[in-house]
């Protein structure tokens, strides 16, 4: 039997396999360590970190919708300092690369968090969540304005030696404009898509199901949109792209790899099945074996268009 | 959030199959799920996350308190309220079910020297308290265990058969007076409290949040009271932060806890209503 090589080179990151757990769906890793060895993953991205702890939104925070779920968690997190003190030491015991997802209300906050995490060590890369409002700029979402998206990317790049992944929001008119903009600002990698803003109403009580009224839609419902956007971005930029959005199975993951994503993130699937990411790793292995391929990297970007 | 012991039982993700299904009322369903013998015995108050393995229209598992457990058999009792519970109620015998559990922090056991253990159930809140009552009744101790069960009408009354043993007693209330005490279960309890409280008493409650709120109002904060809460959940293991409940944080300020991991059982004085 041929040995199967799942490893991928994603810009400066060398990963054992292309399966990464998405921010906000994998806690700080420890929640899933009961179910499998985290070292079997390509990388783990932890819950988004802010400069100071955040309490999050009042409940109800989630609602299942057809083939998906809406969430308005409100970026609840322990804050970067407690993460470094309490969570990171536990994560350092694993050999799997740990990627810290970070967000701020101002560019200055992004910079401060980036500096703290760079100095702390044990973090393989930073992923910038730019789907949050910039309070200094009238609350405009960083990721919906090409200039603001570029500015935050450039400023974080300047203060860190770590690879910077910029995670794009799909809630824009043209995703390629934003992608080009963060690429020229120095992003090492682009990841997409974050959730799509949505809403659901309880007609019995005529109330929104979420206390926050709107929330981010994730799950299989968004996969075709995510795939289309990943394909568009892959064809626009020359930096590597990490694809995500509704990936539940190895077959879903393969779709993203075939259109050109160098790696993929598993999000909502982790909620449905704590072993989902691991099953995707084995599913990719099986696919390669069945198709007489031995390197997954040779499958990336091989979409056939007649 | 002091002294919060998180269960040391490691949860498993397994496949079970539907062994038996009973509609105990037109909208209430009792499922018996067969699992492997290795499935860990849950503590009363813990829960499982469940989803039909092959149902195509459901994404997330649904949380259910454990109604009964014997090695290789888990029972859940629920009211059909939405798509998830409906899908489960429509399962055929022998169909596969994804089960994750046991999860969460169950009911803290009562102190040894307690005289009265009061279990207060609003509607389907009986599911978790029934399991707890049976486990309490097996311990040798001279103490009264009274379960208060409230329902809208006699027809809505959940099954109370498991509570009719010699070590347990059951008191029933219905909002319309069609069976037992006429009024809410909290009214019923309130009428009893003066004769019970002079003795060392501990209270455990489960039910709709409006009922729990009323329950807390009539109990002196010094009386130990634990409540099992419900909230929509995605993961059940503390990762998604979807099942937030407002509790008193440092200095009494608002903080959020996870019903799935920090609960579902909380000390009544911790909760911010």
Give the CATH number for residue B207: 3.40.50.80
- pLDDT value of residue A296: 97
Residue B141 pLDDT: 74
| Cβ neighbours of residue B90 closer than 8 Å, sequence gap 6 or more | none
According to the model, what pLDDT value does residue A185 have? 98
Residue B62 lies in a domain: yes
Q: Which two tokens stand for residue B31?
A: 């499922």
B100/A274 Cβ within 8 A = yes
* Domain C-terminal end among B88, B103, B118: B103
Q: Tell me whether residues A274 and B235 touch, CB distance under 8 A.
A: yes
CATH number of the CATH domain containing B261? 2.10.240.10
Is B4 within a domain?
A: no
Distance between the two ends of chain B, CA-based, in angstroms?
A: 16
CB atoms closer than 10 angstroms to residue A219: 27
Q: Supply the pLDDT for residue A136.
A: 78
Check A69 against B58: CB less than 8 A apart: no
What is the reported pLDDT for B7? 55
Chains A and B form CB pairs within 8 A to the count of 96
Of B11, B241, B246, which is closest to A73 when you measure between CB atoms? B241
Look at B231 and A68 and tell me if their CB atoms are within 8 Å. Answer: no
Calculate Rg over the CA atoms of chain B: 18
The answer to whether residue A135 neighbours chain B at the CB level (below 8 Å) is no
Query: Of B51, B60, B232, which is closest to A60 when you measure between CB atoms?
Result: B232
Domain boundaries, chain A: 8-56+74-196+216-298
User: Which among B6, B231, B235 is the top mutation candidate for probing chain A, defined by the most A β-carbons within 10 Å of its own β-carbon?
Assistant: B235
* Alpha-helical regions (H) of A173-234: 175-184, 223-234
Instruction: Please answer whether residues A116 and A52 qualify as being in contact, where contact means their C-beta atoms are separated by less than 8 angstroms.
Output: no
Task: Tell me the shortest Cα–Cα distance from B5 to chain A, in angstroms.
Answer: 15
For residues A182 and A177, what is the distance between their CA atoms, to the nearest angstrom? 9
Residue B126 forms contact with A (CB below 8 Å): no
Distance between CA atoms of residues A86 and A78, nearest Å: 10
Query: Are B153 and B204 members of one domain?
Result: yes
Length of chain B: 273
On whether both B129 and B115 belong to a single domain, the answer is yes
Task: Note whether B13 contacts A273, CB cutoff 8 Å.
Answer: yes
The domain total for chain B is: 3
What CATH number is given to the structural domain containing B37?
2.40.30.10
Q: Does B15 touch chain A (CB under 8 A)?
A: no
Domain assignment present for residue B3? The answer is no
Tally: H helices and E strands in chain B: 4, 16
**A279 touches B: beta carbon within 8 Å:** no
pLDDT band (50, 70, 90) for residue B3? very low
The predicted structure's pLDDT at residue A2: 67
Q: Coil, strand or helix: which one is B27?
A: coil
Instruction: Check whether residue B118 and residue B221 sit in a common domain.
Output: yes
Given this model, what pLDDT does residue B2 score? 44
User: What is the dotted CATH code of the domain comprising A8-56+74-196+216-298?
Assistant: 3.20.20.70
* B268 domain residue, yes or no: yes
Q: Are residues B73 and B160 in the same domain?
A: no
pLDDT in tens, B37-91: 999 999 999 999 999 998 777 999 999 999 999 999 999 999 999 999 999 999 9
Q: Return the DSSP state at B162.
A: G
Residues B191 and B255 in one domain: no
Structural domain includes residue B66:
yes
Contact between B13 and A67 using a beta-carbon 8 Å cutoff: no
Residue of chain A whose Cα is closest to the Cα of B255: A55
Q: How far is the alpha carbon of A278 from chain B, nearest alpha carbon, in Å?
A: 13
* Inter-chain CB proximity A59 and B61 less than 8 Å: no
B140 domain residue, yes or no: yes
Return phi, psi of residue B195, to 5°: -85, -20
Question: What residue ranges of chain A have pLDDT lower than 70?
Answer: 1-2
Query: Rounded mean pLDDT of B225-243?
Result: 97
pLDDT (tens digit per residue) in A211-267: 999 999 999 999 999 999 999 999 999 999 999 999 999 999 999 999 999 999 999
Q: Tell me: pLDDT of B190 over 90.
A: yes
pLDDT of residue B140: 76
In a domain, B152, yes or no: yes
Both structure tokens of A27: 């806690």
CA atoms within 13 A on the CB side of B193: 17
B224 and B111 within one domain = yes
Q: Assign B34 a pLDDT band (cuts: 50, 70, 90).
A: very high
Asked whether the beta carbons of residue A62 and residue B254 sit closer than 8 angstroms, the reply is no
Asked if the C-beta of B53 comes within 8 angstroms of chain A's C-beta atoms, the answer is no
CA dist., res. B55 & res. B91, Å (int): 9
Query: Chain A closest CA to B163's CA: distance in Å?
Result: 33
Catalytic, A239? Answer no
| Distance from C-alpha of A43 to C-alpha of A191, rounded to nearest angstrom | 14
| Residue B198 CB coordination number (10 Å) | 10
Does residue B222 surpass a pLDDT of 50?
Answer: yes
Checking if the pLDDT of B6 tops 80, the result is: no
List the single residue in B58, B98, B231 with the smallest CB-CB distance to A59: B231
Q: CA A46 to CA A100: how far, in whole Å? A: 6
pLDDT tops 80 at residue B169: yes
Q: Is B37 on the interface with A (CB under 8 A)?
A: no
Tell whether the model's pLDDT for residue B110 goes beyond 70.
Answer: yes
- Both B30 and B52 in one domain: the answer is yes
Judgement on whether residues B143 and B221 belong to the same structural domain of the protein: yes
Across the range B174-182, mean pLDDT stands at: 95
Contact A59/B246, CB-based, under 8 Å? yes
Residues B47 and B99 in one domain: yes
By the CB < 8 Å criterion, does B60 face chain A?
A: yes
Chain A interface includes B10 (CB < 8 A): yes
Name the residue range of residue B248's domain: 232-273
Contacts of B232 in chain A (CB under 8 A): 59-64
Given B103, B125, B149, which residue is the final one in a domain? B103
Q: Which residues pair with B181 in a beta bridge?
A: B173
pLDDT higher than threshold 60 for residue B225? yes
Residue B53 lies in a domain: yes
> Is residue B176 a contact partner of residue B166, using CB atoms and an 8 Å limit?
no
Catalytic entry in A73, A132, A175, A269: A132
Cα distance from A268 to chain B (closest Cα, Å)? 9
**C-alpha closest to that of A49 among A111, A104, A7:** A104
* CB contact at 8 A, A7 and A97: no
Indicate whether B245 and B170 sit together in one domain. no
Residue at a domain's end among B44, B72, B103: B103
Taking contacts as CB-CB distances below 8 angstroms, the residues of chain A near B240 are: 24-25, 62, 71, 73, 271
- Whether B47 and B153 map to the same domain: the answer is no
Q: Based on the fold, state whether residues B90 and B118 are members of the same structural domain.
A: no
Chain B, nearest residue to A219 by Cα: B59
Question: Cβ contacts (< 8 Å) between B261 and chain A: which residues?
Answer: 31
Length of chain A equals: 306
């Amino acid at each position: 039997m041929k040995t199967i090589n799942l490893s991928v080179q994603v810009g400066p990151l060398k990963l054992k396999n292309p399966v990464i757990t998405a921010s906000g769906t994998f806690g700080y890793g420890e929640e899933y360590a009961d179910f499998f060895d985290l070292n079997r993953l390509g990388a783990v991205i932890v819950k988004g970190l802010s400069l100071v702890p955040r309490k999050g939104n009042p409940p109800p925070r989630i609602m299942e919708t057809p083939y998906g779920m809406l969430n308005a968690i409100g970026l609840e997190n322990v804050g970067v300092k407690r993460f470094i003190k309490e969570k990171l030491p536990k994560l350092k015991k694993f050999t799997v690369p740990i990627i810290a997802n970070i967000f701020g209300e101002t560019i200055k906050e992004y910079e401060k968090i980036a500096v703290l995490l760079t100095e702390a060590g044990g973090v393989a890369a930073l992923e910038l969540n730019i789907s949050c409002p910039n309070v200094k700029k009238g609350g405009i979402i960083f990721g919906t304005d090409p200039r603001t998206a570029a500015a935050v990317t450039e400023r974080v790049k300047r203060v860190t030696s770590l690879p910077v992944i910029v995670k794009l929001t799909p809630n824009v008119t043209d995703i390629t404009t934003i992608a080009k903009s963060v690429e020229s600002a120095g992003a090492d990698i682009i990841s997409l898509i974050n959730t799509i803003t949505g809403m659901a109403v309880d007609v019995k009580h005529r109330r929104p199901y979420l206390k926050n009224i709107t929330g981010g839609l994730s799950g299989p419902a968004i996969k075709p949109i995510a795939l289309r956007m990943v394909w568009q971005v892959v064809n626009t930029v020359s930096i590597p792209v990490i694809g995500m959005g509704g990936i539940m199975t190895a077959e879903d993951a393969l779709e993203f790899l075939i259109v050109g994503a160098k790696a993929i993130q598993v999000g909502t699937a982790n909620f449905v099945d704590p072993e989902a990411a691991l099953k995707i790793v084995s599913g990719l292995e099986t696919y390669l074996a069945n198709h007489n391929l031995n390197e997954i990297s040779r499958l990336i970007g091989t979409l056939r268009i007649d | 959030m002091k002294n919060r012991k998180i269960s040391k039982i490691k949860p498993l993700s397994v496949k079970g199959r539907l062994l038996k299904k009973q509609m105990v009322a037109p909208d209430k369903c009792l499922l018996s799920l067969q699992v492997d013998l290795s499935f860990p015995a849950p503590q009363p108050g813990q829960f499982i996350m469940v989803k039909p393995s092959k149902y195509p229209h459901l994404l997330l598992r649904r949380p259910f308190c454990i109604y009964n457990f014997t090695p290789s058999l888990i029972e859940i009792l629920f009211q059909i309220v939405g798509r998830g519970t409906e899908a489960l109620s429509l399962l055929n015998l022998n169909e596969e079910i994804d089960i994750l559990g046991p999860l969460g922090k169950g009911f803290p056991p009562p102190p040894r020297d307690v005289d009265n253990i009061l279990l207060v159930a609003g509607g389907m809140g009986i599911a978790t308290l029934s399991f707890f009552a049976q486990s309490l009744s097996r311990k040798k101790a001279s103490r009264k265990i009274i379960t208060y069960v409230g329902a809208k009408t006699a027809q809505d009354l959940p099954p109370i058969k498991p509570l009719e043993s010699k070590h347990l007693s059951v008191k029933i209330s219905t909002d319309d007076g069609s069976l037992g005490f006429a009024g809410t279960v909290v009214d019923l309890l309130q009428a009893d409290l003066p004769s019970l409280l002079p003795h060392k008493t501990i209270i455990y409650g489960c039910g709709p949040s409006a009922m729990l709120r009323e329950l807390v109002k009539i109990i002196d904060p010094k009386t130990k009271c634990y409540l099992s809460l419900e909230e929509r959940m995605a993961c059940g293991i503390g990762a998604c932060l979807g099942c937030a409940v407002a509790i008193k944080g440092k200095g009494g300020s608002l903080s959020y806890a996870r019903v799935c991991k920090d609960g579902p059982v909380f000390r009544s004085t911790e909760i911010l209503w």
